[in-house]
Chain A
Amino acid sequence: MLVLTMLVKIIHLLNSKQRLTCLFTALYFALATTSYAAQETQLTAITHANSPIVKDNFEWQVMLDLSLVSTPQILADVKQTETIDYVHLGILLDISYKGFFLQSNSRRSSTIIGSGEIGYQLSVQNDWELDLIIKTYIDGFDPKEIIRDQKQQIPQLEGLYERGFTEGIALRYSQFFDNSIAYVDLAAALTDKNKQGDYTSGIIIDSFYSYLIPYRNWDIYLGAGLTYYDKSLVDYYFGISADEVSNARALHDAKSAFRAQLEVYVQYPLYKSWSFNASLTQTFYSNSIKHSPLVDENKLTQLMVGVLYVF
């Protein structure tokens, strides 16, 4: 875990462009050095029926997403104010080569809102897979920006320091069933620098189960997730330090927290390359988050309706 934490620190110092450069450099070295390995692996796969499945070959998929999303915020009194706040336009990229991959979870509404994963397949078996994943686990927020966008005053956020995003490097274990998948990420996570220039690190355990019901041309995904956040991470986002105390915010030392999610996601083909997608996600945060002065609601319902174009 210490090694993972150190890796997260290094990755954290890189911007998105540099991270992509690193990934493609790694892909280049994998290409340059494994030409024999590729043949060898294929032979192994043919000769031993119980041997591991060959890692992903070169595959790519680019999708353009346009959707309307209602996303209630966990922060007190923060709302979607303008029409544009409901509109999401994004490009989703899936690419893999020799076990390296960059993927967007296009079967979950959270990805439509934006979250990709960079990873490497450590082991690929018939029923399970072990991956090394790098992803953003928690989005940050800038109180000044929020206050500027909102139509009403939010005293709880005035003068509050910015909270950066949290990235993590994780081991992901996935178990495959006939029409479902369960995965669990054990992540060493690191927040952005705080006002004092310090990073906060902690553990995140993120699990999700997704069950696919194909009904005629529809795909219906039923999902349930449970995520654990270390105390230090919850305190970074929802704690109130002594120098942040105000009339609207009491000193608050946050404890570790859980997030539970229930989700329904549907997809329907409209035309060649076009599909309709919609989702409903119900999120529950544990009371340790609700007790923060920055939060007044720990049950959030997210709705998404959109179209996806596949290039």
Chain B
Amino acid sequence: MYSNVKISRYLLIMPIFLISPVKAEDSPTLPSNISFSVQPQQCVTLRQGRNCYATLTIQWQKLTEQALCLHQINTKQANSQKELFCWPKGNKGETSVSFESSDNLTYQLRTLEDKKLIAETEMVVSWVHKSTTRKRRWRLF
């Protein structure tokens, strides 16, 4: 897993734009020595409100070894946090995730032991046609 990509340790400590700030109450001091990416970053659906489907490649690298878990959160739905995958102790990881949602979803890396937030990024859902009250007409015509 992730063996064909070599990234220098210098690159690892560079700030990566994919890492977004987290909520202050959740983790006021987010570690900066990690890269965390979700590709693609955007899923496009034909109409606003419809589920968007994509296969995401999720990668992370860290200077120090740690056992981490991948969490998926829908901020529009309360208590919708799901633990998707956990990696054993290491300094990098990669996995594929099936994305199926009409809302933006946040992906977080948390420690296995104490669930401390390490990094997060958002998968954005956009659309071609806006939602309309003329659903039936514009859906089929």
Interface residues of A (CB under 8 A from B): 56-57, 59, 61, 94, 96, 101, 103, 105-108, 129, 176, 180-181, 210, 212, 214, 216-217, 219, 221, 267-275, 308, 310
Residue B140 contacts which of A57, A212, A308 (CB distance < 8 angstroms)? A212
Q: List 10 A-B contacts (CB under 8 A).
A: A103-B141, A105-B141, A176-B136, A181-B141, A217-B45, A217-B53, A268-B46, A270-B44, A271-B44, A272-B44
Q: In the bound complex, what is the Cα–Cα distance between A217 and B40 (angstroms)?
A: 15
Q: A59 touching B132 by the CB < 8 A rule?
A: yes
Please, which residues of chain A bring their CB within 8 A of the CB of B137?
A: 56, 101, 103
Q: How many residues of chain B are within 8 Å of chain A by beta carbon? A: 22
Q: A181 touching B44 by the CB < 8 A rule?
A: no
The reply to whether the CB of B127 lies closer than 8 angstroms to some CB of chain A is yes
Q: B140 touching A217 by the CB < 8 A rule?
A: no
The reply to whether the CB of B134 lies closer than 8 angstroms to some CB of chain A is yes
Q: A269-B127, A272-B127, A273-B128 are in contact. Are A219 and B134 (CB under 8 A)?
A: no
Residue A56 contacts which of B50, B53, B133 (CB distance < 8 angstroms)? B133
Task: Give chain A nearest CB distance to B31 CB in angstroms.
Answer: 32
Q: A275-B46, A310-B128 are in contact. Are A221 and B138 (CB under 8 A)?
A: no
**Interface majority SS on A: helix, strand, loop or mixed?**
strand
Please, which residues of chain B bring their CB within 8 A of the CB of A101?
A: 137
Please, which residues of chain B bring their CB within 8 A of the CB of A210?
A: 140
Q: A272-B44, A272-B127, A273-B128 are in contact. Are A59 and B140 (CB under 8 A)?
A: no
Mark contacts of B100-141 with chain A using CB atoms, 8 A cut-off: 1 yes-contact digit, 0 otherwise: 000000000000000000000000001111101110111111
Q: A96 touching B134 by the CB < 8 A rule?
A: yes
Q: In the bound complex, what is the Cα–Cα distance between A107 and B137 (angstroms)?
A: 10
Smallest Cβ-Cβ distance to A275: which chain B residue: B128
The reply to whether the CB of B68 lies closer than 8 angstroms to some CB of chain A is no
- Not counting A217-B46, A269-B127, A273-B128, a sample of 17 additional A-B residue pairs whose C-beta atoms are within 8 angstroms of each other reads A57-B133, A96-B134, A101-B137, A103-B137, A103-B141, A106-B141, A107-B140, A129-B136, A181-B136, A210-B140, A214-B50, A216-B53, A217-B44, A217-B45, A267-B46, A269-B46, A274-B128
Which residues of B5-56 have CB atoms within 8 Å of chain A's CB atoms? 42-46, 50, 52-53
Smallest Cβ-Cβ distance to B139: which chain A residue: A212
Task: Give chain A nearest CB distance to B16 CB in angstroms.
Answer: 23
Smallest Cβ-Cβ distance to B135: which chain A residue: A176
Please, which residues of chain B bring their CB within 8 A of the CB of A219?
A: 46
Please, which residues of chain A bring their CB within 8 A of the CB of B138?
A: 59, 61, 94
Q: B130 touching A61 by the CB < 8 A rule?
A: yes
Please, which residues of chain B bring their CB within 8 A of the CB of A180?
A: 140
Residue with the highest number of chain B CB atoms closer than 10 Å, among A269, A270, A273:
A269
Q: In the bound complex, what is the Cα–Cα distance between A129 and B141 (angstroms)?
A: 14
Q: B129 touching A61 by the CB < 8 A rule?
A: yes
Q: A181 touching B140 by the CB < 8 A rule?
A: yes
Q: In the bound complex, what is the Cα–Cα distance between A244 and B139 (angstroms)?
A: 46
Q: In the bound complex, what is the Cα–Cα distance between A217 and B53 (angstroms)?
A: 6
Task: Give chain B nearest CB distance to A114 CB in angstroms.
Answer: 15
Residue with the highest number of chain A CB atoms closer than 10 Å, among B46, B126, B140:
B140
Residue with the highest number of chain B CB atoms closer than 10 Å, among A59, A108, A212, A217:
A217
Please, which residues of chain B bring their CB within 8 A of the CB of A216?
A: 53
Please, which residues of chain A bring their CB within 8 A of the CB of B45?
A: 217, 269
Q: A269 touching B140 by the CB < 8 A rule?
A: no
Q: A269 touching B128 by the CB < 8 A rule?
A: yes
Please, which residues of chain B bring their CB within 8 A of the CB of A56?
A: 133-134, 137
Please, which residues of chain A bring their CB within 8 A of the CB of B134?
A: 56, 59, 96
Smallest Cβ-Cβ distance to B137: which chain A residue: A103
Smallest Cβ-Cβ distance to A267: which chain B residue: B46
Name the 4 nearest CB pairs between A and B, nearest first.
Answer: A269-B44, A216-B53, A272-B126, A181-B140
